[in-house]
Structure 1
Amino acid sequence: MSLKEDPNLVASRPIRPLPNLIFMSRWLQLPLYLGLILAQAVYVFHFWVELTDLIGAAFGNASSLEHILTAVSIDGAPRGTKLTETTIMLVVLGLIDVVMISNLLIMVIVGGYETFVSRMNLENHPDQPEWLSHVNASVLKVKLATAIIGISSIHLLKTFINAGAYDIKVLLAQTGIHITFLLSALAIAYTDKLLNAAHGPNPHH
């Protein structure tokens, strides 16, 4: 039986030194993903600081209120002196923004490691993310683009809530950037659809 006919024999063949070195170079990405995990920890800390200040301000803590008002203030605009519905909304949107960026980090860390570095062997694990079961480079790009649109939407909403404090050029620029993100995501998704159609039906999609 030839090696071509027996995949087990093909898989057991040793890799030549140079291809093996090139293949092992993928582990150079490991410090990058570990760094993103540290960035995730910083976002978790930032989230709890903002949440603690919001709760403290709601109960009348002057120091927490000062931190909250400073966090949501806009350069050149008069700053409020009390906790209002708009201020609470801006803080909550900031917390949602942190969560969405954290979700983006998780997709990059887990999906990127699984796709470009090494298998995690999470099959049949009860906590395996649904999207990870069919992740590849194309799917990951579409999911990341979608996540960026969500983050951009939160930033745009925060700007529109305080639209009176911004120049019209800033509003138009942020709207234009958001539309650019949206069109880019649509282009990525459409390109992925064309590639899948060209290579035939893919059972993972």
Structure 2
Amino acid sequence: MEHLIERSLFASRWLMAPMYVGLSLSLLLLLWVFGLEFWHLLQILPVMKVNDAVLGVLALIDLSLAANLLLIVIFSGYENFVSRMNLSEHEDRPEWQGEVDFSGLKLKLVASIVAISGIHLLKVFMDVGKYAPDQIRWMVVIHLVFVVSGVLLAAMDWISNHGKGLKKRAPKA
């Protein structure tokens, strides 16, 4: 009975696979929005001002960072929780694939969120007249919370890894 329960629990990881397929399909949504944003930029090209160009490009960068974040979650999540991808021979396989553990995934996620938040904040600063001072203040506070969270998460991982290293080196009694 115990063996059957353990095998069932282990097999339940495959319930995550459809979620990763759904996330990969959501890349199409980001691609669609990217295309719309790019099309909008092309339409205003004859009358485009510097701020319009910078804001438009920042929006495109924002979308590409979100897509990169999505790929990191899909690849790392699938490999950490469902199954290894047997693509080690593929010439286009990213170097980090298969090497990002759950701790590394969390740090990459936080770093991406901080980058996306920073770009969004830069867009706000480029068009500061559209926003109330209170709104801007909250956006800065939220961004700083992301930054501090990332630093604290990295510090916790460092402490955890440092503690494991000390435990391995400690003499056995």
What are structure 2's unaligned runs of at least 5 residues?
167-173
The secondary structure found in structure 1 opposite 2:91 is coil
**Which aligned pairs between 1:126-137 and structure 2 lie closer than 5 A?**
126-137=91-102
Distance 2:71 2:90 in 1: 17
**Which aligned pairs between 1:23-172 and structure 2 lie closer than 5 A?**
23-58=10-45, 60=46, 82-172=47-137
Distance 1:133 1:127 in 2: 14
CA RMSD of aligned residues (A): 1.6
Q: Which of 1 and 2 has higher RCO (CA within 8 Å, sep 6+)?
A: 2
Distance 1:34 1:88 in 2: 34
Distance 1:41 1:52 in 2: 16
Q: How many residue pairs get matched?
A: 165
Mean CA deviation greater in 186-195 or 122-131: 122-131
Task: Give CA-to-partner distance per residue, 1:25-71, whole Å, 9 cap, x none.
Answer: 1111111111111111111111112112212321x4xxxxxxxxxxx
The alignment-based identity, stated in percent, is 39
* Bigger radius of gyration among the two: 1
> TM-score scaled by structure 1?
0.76
**Shift in alpha-carbon separation, 1:105–1:187, aligned structure 2, 3 A:** same
More helix by share: 2
Identify the residue that residue 3 of structure 1 maps to in structure 2.
none
Amino acid at match of 2:27: Q
What are structure 1's unaligned runs of at least 5 residues?
1-14, 61-81
- Note the C-alpha offset of 1:96: 0.6
Task: Give CA-to-partner distance per residue, 1:110-136, whole Å, 9 cap, x none.
Answer: 111011110012334322212224210
The secondary structure found in structure 2 opposite 1:24 is helix
Identify the residue that residue 16 of structure 1 maps to in structure 2.
3
Flag as ranges the 4+ runs of structure 1 deviating above 3 A. none
- Note the C-alpha offset of 1:84: 1.5
Amino acid at match of 2:146: F
Please tell me whether the aligned partners of residues 79 and 98 of structure 2 are also in contact (alpha carbons under 8 angstroms). Answer: no
Please tell me whether the aligned partners of residues 84 and 98 of structure 2 are also in contact (alpha carbons under 8 angstroms). Answer: no
- Note the C-alpha offset of 1:199: 1.6
